[in-house]
Amino acid sequence: MMIRSAPVNRADSVTLASCYALVVTVLPGGLVFKGISFALTPAMLIGFGMGALWCCAQLVTTLGAAKGRNPVRTALFLYAAAHLATYGYVTYQYLPPDELNATDRTLLTLFAVIAVGIAVCDGVRTTARLDRLLKVVVVGCAFMAVVGLIQFFIKIDLAQYLVLPGLKPANELSRLLERSIFTRPAGTTAHPIEFGVVCAVVIPLAIHYAFRALDTGRPQTCWWLCLAVLGVGAMVSLSRSAIIGVAVALIVLIPAMPKGRRLRVLLACGVFVVAMRLVVPGLVGTLLSLFTGISNDPSIDSRQIAIGRAQEEITNHPLLGRGVGTYFPEKYGFLDNQYLGTIVQNGYIGLAALLGLFIAGMYAAARARAASRDPDVRSLSRALLASIAVVATTSATFDLLGFGTVTGLMFLLLGAAGALLRSVRTTAEHPPTLAARILQRLRGPVVQRGHG
């Protein structure tokens, strides 16, 4: 009799998605392969591979890939269709060579991350495997945050030593910028704003794993350390977007906590801010000035000029836009607003598709939470909803899709929300047997703590 190994031990979509998560968080952003005329990044290569394997898995019924409707899967297809429509519209007419090359490259880049989202949505079939993937995401982003903290406190850029053989930077970008008296770190990302937003996006997942470890008596030191470095990273990025993102994450997460825990979390946040003020004098004041002195920020004037230019473009191309990737910030001005940039480059149809992505991801996470009684699933659902809400909110404060790390994580988390909803629905249709429930209890009792 042939005994087949358990699926959990096989290489699957989680294996590839974990590699993808580590590539986008551990390797410096903007690295491309040498000797290739096309700017191919390692993350894009993995994304195309995941897309090809997803297509193959959809042709057969023996590889375990999910099929059928899912809100995230539908939203990803509509988003891809909107980009194809824009591409056909703008390439039908004349485009300058630099804009034509830019729209070709940007379209391929977007399809690589769309492939990651679909592969995760349809390829991750259990909450245990999804847990493993998201833990890799948290640890990878914590490593990115550690690199950023070393840049901030010691002024040493470790990112320059993480370039693997065969790779080279696509552009010479400085990862250490200045604001007030501080050095703004970028970690392994391309810019301090992206660094801060990535920290804010992953903080809800770190909170989830830290508290679940506390509640169940599992090892928890690793997750508290990850949460600490991500929280510090968000603050030292000196980014308005990061602070807004952290605030949104807490607003989504804290109301769902037990009353006693809500009070302790609010107290811990206050202690954390005071500690940062003592450890890094002037940091908290600088962060406050980003909001209180926004009217005197010189970047506001340039954004107003860019908005005027954007309005002209929207008038000329309202439905499908002027073409994704064809609006060069260096040439036309920085918009620092992904929604406005999407209208310019993809029109109102593209904006609807982008909003549909965020709505579908948050809907999938909320539906998974409502349909499950498992405390682990409910907590993870809330964390994913908070992470996607951070992405959706901060998209109004910076050009999200212009940065590779946060874009890659966004599509991975959208796919994770869809995968979680699929898993919950599958469990509801095929609940575990009495023997399986007894065996699960015998493997290790769950110790509930911290529900004061």
Query: 223 pLDDT exceeds 90?
Result: yes
Q: Tell me: the pLDDT tens digits for 180-211?
A: 568 899 999 999 999 999 999 999 999 999 99
Q: What's the token pair of residue 262?
A: 């809500």
Instruction: Give the confidence band of 213 by pLDDT, cuts at 50, 70, 90.
Output: very high
Is-contact 120 415, C-beta < 8 A? yes
Q: What is the pLDDT of residue 350?
A: 97
Q: Tell me: the pLDDT tens digits for 401-423?
A: 999 999 999 999 999 999 999 99
Q: What is the pLDDT of residue 431?
A: 60
Q: Per-residue pLDDT averaged across 297-313, rounded? A: 74
Instruction: Give the confidence band of 311 by pLDDT, cuts at 50, 70, 90.
Output: confident
Q: What is the pLDDT of residue 304?
A: 73
Q: What is the pLDDT of residue 433?
A: 55
Q: Per-residue pLDDT averaged across 18-43, rounded? A: 92
Instruction: Give the confidence band of 173 by pLDDT, cuts at 50, 70, 90.
Output: low
User: Which of 91-105, 144-158, 406-420, 425-439 ranks highest by mean pLDDT?
Assistant: 406-420
Question: In whole angstroms, what is the distance from residue 152 CA to residue 159 CA?
Answer: 13
**Which residue did the predictor score with more confidence, 441 or 214?**
214
Query: In terms of Cα–Cα distance, which of 423, 416, 427, 425 is closest to 76?
Result: 416
Q: What is the pLDDT of residue 68?
A: 86
Q: What percent of the chain lies above the pLDDT cut of 90? A: 68
Q: Per-residue pLDDT averaged across 243-248, rounded? A: 97
CB atoms near residue 318 (< 10 Å): 12
**Own/partner pairs for 68-72, CB < 8 Å, 24+ apart?**
70/121, 70/122, 70/364, 70/418, 70/421, 70/422, 71/360, 71/363, 71/364, 71/367, 71/418, 71/421, 72/117, 72/121, 72/360, 72/361, 72/364, 72/414, 72/415, 72/417, 72/418, 72/421
Query: 448 pLDDT exceeds 50?
Result: no
Question: In whole angstroms, what is the distance from residue 24 CA to residue 141 CA?
Answer: 9
Q: Tell me: the pLDDT tens digits for 255-284?
A: 999 988 999 999 999 999 999 999 999 999
Query: 287 pLDDT exceeds 80?
Result: yes
Q: What is the pLDDT of residue 64?
A: 81
CA Rg value for the chain: 22
- State pTM to two decimals: 0.91
